[in-house]
Amino acid sequence: MHVDDLTTPALLVDAAALEANLADMAALLPGPRLRPHVKAHKTTELARRQAAHGHTGFTCATVREVEGMAAAGLGADLLLANEVLDARRLGAVVGSGARVTVAIDSEQTLRAAVDGGVREVLVDVNVGLPRCGIAPARAGALADAARAAGLVVRGVMGYEGHLQMLDDAAERARLTTECTDRLLAAHADVGGEVVSGGGTGTHAMNTACTEIQAGSYALMDTAYTAAGLPFRQALTVLSTVVSTTAPDGDMPGWAVADAGLKAFGMDHGNPTVPGGNVWFCSDEHLVFAADAPPRTGDRVRIVPAHVDPTVALHERMHLVDGDEVLETWAVDLRGW
């Protein structure tokens, strides 16, 4: 199939860029040193490629992702790096033969794991991002309570999400060490063999963790590229120019592509049109000016600023080599 035959907007994944990203990361963090986060792509076929590069344990953000990974035969070691108050669906996944570990940061989430039939947990530690995670000083007591309740405590996790996009890499590294020091202090009280954390932005500097939870590295986005990450931009949104307006006096010309707020996660800013200047997005429109003005009917490949929420808006992604569509993958881990 040719990309011109795709209905736009359509998610494209450059096959060579994806493969290079997976290979580069696997060289740096081989096998179990990386626990790829599937929330960044929500696609079991892409996870299968990561498994082919040697990573057989995965990180998930939702119960639905855990279910979908297990159903796809990728359930050897799934970590739900998130808190749940109803773990019954996770217990059902355990019952189907997959290995599931869930994060806990409170008596309530501990109880949910027990009641839901999940047997293995990590104590989620607050390392500085004001989100989930128990205070480091209280982690040991939660681990004791979990063991007393019959759970296996595999170790700790802590996510330094507030640092991932810091422009200054030296500062990012310094602050990451502060975070991992908190995590290691908690680990000393909790025990277990797992110290899990990190992301694409800190994958090379978070050396204290036994495993890194990076996800965005596979497809990438402009925000991570701007932060200096060494991975290639594999993801674009193919769109069609549906209207153009020629320059008129002082008013420059512009073009309108058929991919707007409903095709891009926008919390990291506007998407980027190569060779163009994006003015704004509305629901189904992206308005841009370009040095070489496009014509109505032209197709443009637009680069998202934030990979995860962009992918989650699309039902499928197309693996391409130039203008050739090699494969089409369902974004099958969407929804809750």
Residue whose beta carbon is closest to ligand PLP: 199
The single-letter DSSP state of residue 297 is: T
Residue whose beta carbon is closest to Mn ion: 308
Q: Which of residues 20-79 bind ligand PLP (CB under 6 A)?
A: 37, 40
Contacts of 182 (CB under 8 A, 6+ apart): 125, 126, 127, 128, 136, 158
Instruction: Please give the angle made by the CA atoms of 239, 316 and 52, to the nearest 5 degrees.
Output: 120
* Near ligand PLP by CB under 6 A: residue from 200, 222, 270, 310: 200
The single-letter DSSP state of residue 31 is: G
Three-class SS of residue 288?
strand
Binding span for ligand PLP by CB under 6 A among 85-93, 210-218, 261-269, 317-325: 210-218
Kindly tell me which of 57 and 294 has the beta carbon lying closer to ligand PLP: 57
326-331 long-range contacts, CB within 8 A, separation 24+: 326/15, 327/45, 329/43, 329/45, 329/46, 330/43, 330/45, 331/11, 331/41, 331/42, 331/43
Kindly tell me which of 223 and 281 has the beta carbon lying closer to Mn ion: 223
Kindly tell me which of 78 and 273 has the beta carbon lying closer to ligand PLP: 78
Kindly tell me which of 155 and 276 has the beta carbon lying closer to ligand PLP: 155
* Near ligand PLP by CB under 6 A: residue from 9, 128, 136, 199: 199
Centre a 10 Å sphere on the Cβ of residue 265 and count the other Cβ atoms it contains. Answer: 18
Number of residues located near ligand PLP, criterion CB under 6 A: 13
Tell me which of Mn ion, ligand PLP, none is bound by residue 36, counting a contact when its beta carbon lies within the kind-specific cut-off of 5 to 8 angstroms. Answer: none
Centre a 10 Å sphere on the Cβ of residue 17 and count the other Cβ atoms it contains. Answer: 18
Interface residues with ligand PLP (CB under 6 A) are 37, 40, 81, 159, 161, 164, 199-201, 213-216
